[in-house]
A = this chain, B = another copy of it.
Amino acid sequence: MTATRSSAGIPVAVLLCVLAPAASVARAGEPLPSWNDVKARHAIVHFVERVTRPGADFVPEPQRIAVFDNDGTLWAEQPMYVQLLFAVDRVKALAPQHPEWKTTEPYASLLAGDLKRAMSSGDEAMFDVMLTTHSGMTTEEYEKTAREWLATAKHPKTGRLYTQMVYQPMLELLAYLRANGFKTFIVSGGGVDFLRVFAEQVYGIPPEQVIGSSGKVGFELRGDKPVLVKLPEVQFIDDKAGKPVGIYQHIGRRPIAAFGNSDGDQQMLEWTCDGFASHLCVYIHHTDAAREWAYDRQSSIGRLDKGLDEAARDGWTVVDMKSDWKAVFPAAK
């Protein structure tokens, strides 16, 4: 038997033992440095201390499951969900093979660059755009296309890559939880295949810890070669009541911490905070029009209305982005 070794030939277990204490000390100096030292940060740190210290609230490591919505919770969702902007670019790229789109809504409006008018065709029509642009290729072809798009497409307002539109305080929170024995999961209404293209690199969350909406997939042999093909049929919608269902189907146990930003996360928070004696439910409230966007009860994207009422009623933590966060996005490179 060979011990696992790093590329330098040093056993990885030894490297970890050498590096871990140093890293812990560095982190212990200032966890969550982009969080102002006020109420929301206190609630998070207090919760983590309670479940990791011996005592009545202690939770064994395997049960320290933390779940995060993605759009509006880990990265920006304004002026439009990133994956929908990807779909729009796919429509443009695929248009030459679909001459009928020139006269079919919502495709015609999308090709004309009028996203607003396209969306007035209704949710079902836009859903059809998502299915159409996310099927008809192998899973490997899809991954390559999404990876290339994310490496080059820029946010219309900031000019940043979308993967730089992530929230710095949430990156710190993910790292802080993992340093305290939590396993972190994404639970998104977005497509699981799209999320998995960047989640490991950007959030440190491996593909097997990403839960999302999905289409059906078929297995076929092309000659001797087995391939998986993305089909234009819905497998699962991971939103609203679908979120606790998706968590149960994928993780098989109830989280002890849940983070969201919209009414689409409400059931996930309800289910999480009805479980263990120690639990943490957090809403990220978009209150910062200067550094990000300010929206809640009236927004068509990421509406937070009923959830805000329930948070007040049930004592969930509400993060006020404007006053709780020292920085919103990572410093530009």
Contact = CB atoms under 8 A, between A and B. Distances in A.
A38 interface: no
Interface in A236-257: 236, 241-242, 244-245, 248-253
A312 to B, nearest CB: 15
Contacts of A200: 62
Contacts of A217: 245, 248-249
A225 B274 contact: yes
Determine how many copies of this chain the complex contains.
2
Contacts of A232: none
B181 A214 contact: no
Interface in A1-34: 1-5, 7, 9, 12-14, 16-17, 20-21, 24, 27-28, 31
A86 interface: no
A48 interface: yes
Contacts of A65: 208
A242 B210 CA distance: 20
22 contacts: A1-B48, A1-B176, A1-B179, A2-B49, A3-B180, A4-B61, A12-B61, A13-B24, A139-B248, A192-B249, A192-B252, A207-B252, A208-B209, A214-B249, A218-B241, A218-B245, A219-B244, A226-B274, A228-B245, A228-B248, A235-B236, A235-B249
Interface of A: 1-5, 7, 9, 12-14, 16-17, 20-21, 24, 27-28, 31, 45, 48-49, 52-54, 58, 61-62, 65, 139, 176, 179-181, 183, 192-193, 196, 200, 206-210, 214, 217-219, 221, 225-226, 228, 235-236, 241-242, 244-245, 248-253, 267, 270-271, 274
